[in-house]
Every structure is written in C-alpha cells, then in structure tokens.
Amino acid sequence: MATGTGGSLGAALNALLRDHGVQPLRRLSSYHAKHWHAQLSQLTHTQRGWEALERAGLTVRPETLVKWLSDPEYNVRRSYQGIIHAAYENIAIVPADPIPQPFKNGQFEIRGRVRTGDDDRIRGELNEHGRIPAPLRIDGRSGNWAEIERKWAEGELSDDAFEDDFVEYVIIEDIGEGTDGWEFPGSSYTVTV
C-alpha cells in the first residue's frame, strides 16, 4: 500500500505518485552550459548527444566539427548555434515517467477535511466527537485520467492542478458532483492506494 501526505489534497496526491516511483518531467542537472561551444562539446561526448544533434538537423562535415570543437572562438553561424542549442535543450530534458496503470486503477482512501455543500467533516481521522469516520473512498478505475496524464507529461501537474483535476475527472466520475461540488479545505491530507 502506497501513501502520500501533504498540506493539501493535491500535495498528498503528488507525494503518492512519487511513492509509486515515477519521476516527473525534469532537467538533468549536468546540462547547464550556456555557450554554444560548451554545449557542443558536451553533446559530442555521448551517443545520445550525437543523436540529438542529428535530430536537430546539424549537417556539417567532420572536419568542420573538429574545427569548431578545437576553437571556442571559431566563427559559427547563428543558425548552427541555434541548432546546437536546440539539441542541447532537448537532451537536457528527461520526459516524465508514465503514470502507472495500478495507480490509476487504485482504490483511493482520502483522510482529511472534506466538504460538499453543508456536509463538512474530517474523514478517516479522529474528529472532535472522539470518533474516526470512514475515509472518502474513490475508485480510480472510474476516472478519466487523460487530462491528468497530459499535465503530468508536460510538467504542469502542480498540487493545485492535481487537486482540481482529481476532483473533476476522478471523484466526480466515480461518485458524482456532490451537493455543491467537492472541496478539500483542510491543511493536512493523507491518501493511500
């Protein structure tokens, strides 16, 4: 069983996703060169870099490339500098891992403050009456995950976006709109799947 905890439902969901071992869209820390020569030098040290240059459209003779690499002050046309920079930026970005199917098919249990209309209560935790009401249970298989997956792949799945989209495309798809929509106004949430 995986668990995510955070100061909002979205933060807990993002923590839960990381607990599944998936990585978001990210930039490799070793790719921070600014000058075209340093970028070209780094790209030509790996097969992946050569492939990125080829995909970006760098078509120069090997002798020209040797001249460029041997002299950082060599006069390289701006168009070539743009191609080198594009290849460098492309290789520096690592795509997000896909959201695993077991995550999307999970039975989510949400603990924390849940509000729909006049019904506002702590779920799955000790409340002010000394009781522990059942957590909010959501069947992920009922959800429409396309928008969440798109935002995740593009690096746009912030905590707020995850919370909004999880309500819209997973909770509502599973159990309906609620009295006046679903709100998660608490300051601490735990989600297990």
Is 161 or 46 the better-scoring residue by pLDDT? 161
Residue with tokens 């679903």: 182
pLDDT at 179 over 80: no
| 9, 19, 63, 149 from 177: Cα distances, Å | 17, 29, 66, 22
Q: Which sequence spans correspond to the domains of the chain?
A: 3-25+97-192, 26-94
Find how far residue 153's CA is from the centre of its chain.
Answer: 6
Of 33, 30, 2, nearest to 18 by C-alpha is 2
The pLDDT, as a whole number, for residue 32 is 83
Q: What is the pTM of this model?
A: 0.76
pLDDT (tens digit, 9 = 90+) per residue, 115-150? 998 999 999 988 788 888 999 999 999 999 999 999
* 49: three-class secondary structure by DSSP: helix
Find how far residue 165's CA is from the centre of its chain.
Answer: 13
Q: Compute how many other C-beta atoms are within 10 angstroms of the C-beta atom of residue 113.
A: 19
pLDDT (tens digit, 9 = 90+) per residue, 21-42? 999 998 887 788 899 999 999 9
CA–CA separation, 127 and 146 (whole Å): 35
Q: What angle do CA 12, 3, 177 make, to 5 degrees?
A: 55
The pLDDT, as a whole number, for residue 59 is 87
CA–CA separation, 191 and 193 (whole Å): 7
